[in-house]
Amino acid sequence: MSVLVNKNSKVIVQGFTGSEGSFHAQQMIEYGTNVVGGVTPGKGGSTHLEKPVFNSVEEAVQKTGADTSIIFVPPAFAADAIMEAADAGIKVVIAITEGIPVADMMKAKPYIKERGTILIGPNCPGVITPGEAKVGIMPGFVFKPGRIGIVSKSGTLTYEAADQVTKAGLGISTAIGIGGDPIIGTSTKEAVEMLMNDPETDAIVMIGEIGGNYEAEAAIWVRENGNRKPVVGFIAGKTAPAGRRMGHAGAIIGGADDTADAKIRILKANGILVAESPAEIGSVMAKAMGIEA
């Protein structure tokens, strides 16, 4: 089962022939992801990485039956690419692009919602269901198949968590990198909800950071829904100063509620098992699952 992507996902790559798109499409194909083609306007009819190139997402969907798209289009055109995918009936859009203007995302988000499309990202590492499909830029070998779901705003911190969970003797059902921008398609709560309802996921790692209220919202949802599965939380940025942007466009403390300490308090109050150090994500999860690490 897993969530969002699996071995049956038919994936197209938007921004297929660019350097990023080519590199990661190749990696995804080698991983075993069912990449059915790509879209680069103006290069339709050609072949790239032995897959067909289309001029539009609409055409790609008609010819290949694609239901999932991954976007490597440059920031100025990425919101357009997201909306094009939704308009063509793509069910899951994963936007890797970093640096999309906020005003563009403000229009794109309601547009895709109205069309029933799920957007992951932008500014994210993508989604992986180990052993089935990698629709993202993460190093596949770090993610071993198993029954722990991961939701994270950060790329390398997701790999770190997956590595620790794996070394603790567990594995990953699906890891969802939701992205570090101020406006993202899928919130922490929505991603946690997907994993909570997934019969192949037994527990969830939820990784957040300073800025916004997504982690608090997710924690409250987890409690209101009866803490059905153990959730291990980690919030990065305890030492981040207020008012400064920490790499991610969305990682900025705007008030008293979005500091790491405030979020950790809310997580604990709602029954989330908080890892105080990033080095303890794996061991806290192992303990929650009854494994002595």
Partner 1 sequence: MNIHEYQAKEVLKSYGVAIQEGIVADTPEAALEAAKKLNAETGTSWYVIKAQIHAGGRGKGKIQSTGSNGVVLARGLDEVMEKAKNILGGTLVTHQTGPEGKKVNKILIAQDVYYPGASEPKEYYLSILLDRAKGCNVIMASTEGGMDIEEVAENHPEKIIKEWIDPKVGLQGFQARKLAFKLGLEGTAFKGMVKFITSLYEAYIATDSSQFEINPVLKTSDDKILAVDAKVNLDDNALFKHKHLAILRDFEEEDPLEVEADKYGLNYVKLDGNVGCMVNGAGLAMATMDMIKLSGGEPANFLDVGGGANATTVEAGFRIILQDPNVKAILINVFGGIVRCDRIANGVVEAYKTIGDIKVPIIVRLQGTNAEEGAKIIDESGLKVSSAITLKEAAEKVKAAILVPSEK
The one catalytic residue in 134, 229, 248, 263 is 248
Residue 278 main-chain phi, psi, to 5 deg: -65, -15
- The piece of 8-16, 46-54, 60-68, 101-109 that touches partner 1 (CB under 8 A) is 101-109
Q: Is 248 a catalytic residue?
A: yes
Written as six digits, the tokens of 268 are: 């604990």
Among 84, 160, 190, 198, binds partner 1 (CB under 8 A): 160
- The piece of 3-11, 80-88, 224-232, 250-258 that touches partner 1 (CB under 8 A) is 250-258
Residues in a beta bridge with 134: 128
Give the residue from 172, 150, 193, 194 showing the smallest Cα distance to 4.
194
Using alpha carbons only, what angle is made at residue 159 by residues 155 and 164, rounded to the nearest 5 degrees?
A: 145
Q: Which is nearer to partner 1, 100 or 204 (CB)?
A: 100
- The piece of 8-16, 56-64, 81-89, 106-114 that touches partner 1 (CB under 8 A) is 106-114
Q: Which of residues 65-84 bind partner 1 (CB under 8 A)?
A: 75-76
Q: Is 251 in the site for partner 1 (CB under 8 A)?
A: yes
Q: Which of residues 123-152 bind partner 1 (CB under 8 A)?
A: 137-139, 141-142, 152
Cα separation, 135 vs 158, in Å, equals 15
**Residue 96 is assigned to a ligand binding site:** yes
Residues in a beta bridge with 71: 14, 95
Written as six digits, the tokens of 45 are: 């009819």
Q: Give min distance, CB of 226 to partner 1, in A.
A: 24
Among 247, 268, 271, 291, binds partner 1 (CB under 8 A): 247
From first CA to last CA, the distance across the chain in angstroms is 28
Q: Which of residues 198-227 bind partner 1 (CB under 8 A)?
A: 207, 209-213, 217
The verdict on whether omega for the bond into residue 130 sits within 30 degrees of 0, i.e. cis, is: no
